[in-house]
């Protein structure tokens, strides 16, 4: 009898604990799916992409300027003039 009571209480405790855990997980997931949360996530993603793009473009401009200067120096062109064709 004592064994059965112990297993019953243990099972009940585990069941209650699992129910509380599942309830918290479901509630957190539902809060992530509200229109405001989805919008906020989309805006944050767009801002991160914009920042990465801006950084990449800045790096590309610097690399292009360095490469252009090296090519002008290698070809013996005047660095102050942008085009020799004129």
Name the residue ranges covered by the structural domains of the chain: 27-73
How far apart (Å, rounded) are the C-alpha atoms in residues 82 and 72? Answer: 10
What pLDDT is recorded for position 77?
84
The mean of the pLDDT values for the chain is: 91
What pLDDT is recorded for position 50?
98
What pLDDT is recorded for position 81?
62
Is 85 a residue whose pLDDT tops 70?
no
Which helix (H) or strand (E) segment holds residue 64: the answer is helix 35-75
Closest to 69 measured CA to CA, from 57, 58, 59, 81: 81
pLDDT tens digits, 30-82: 999 999 999 999 999 999 999 999 999 999 999 999 999 999 999 988 766 66
pTM, two decimal places: 0.56
């Amino acid at each position: 009898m004592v064994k059965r009571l112990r297993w019953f209480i243990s099972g009940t405790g585990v069941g209650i604990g699992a129910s509380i855990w599942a309830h918290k997980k479901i509630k957190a997931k539902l809060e992530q799916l509200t229109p405001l949360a989805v919008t906020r996530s989309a805006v944050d993603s767009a801002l991160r992409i914009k920042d990465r793009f801006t950084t990449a473009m800045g790096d590309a401009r610097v690399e292009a300027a360095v490469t252009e200067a090296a090519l002008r120096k290698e070809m013996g062109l005047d660095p102050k003039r942008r085009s020799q064709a004129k």
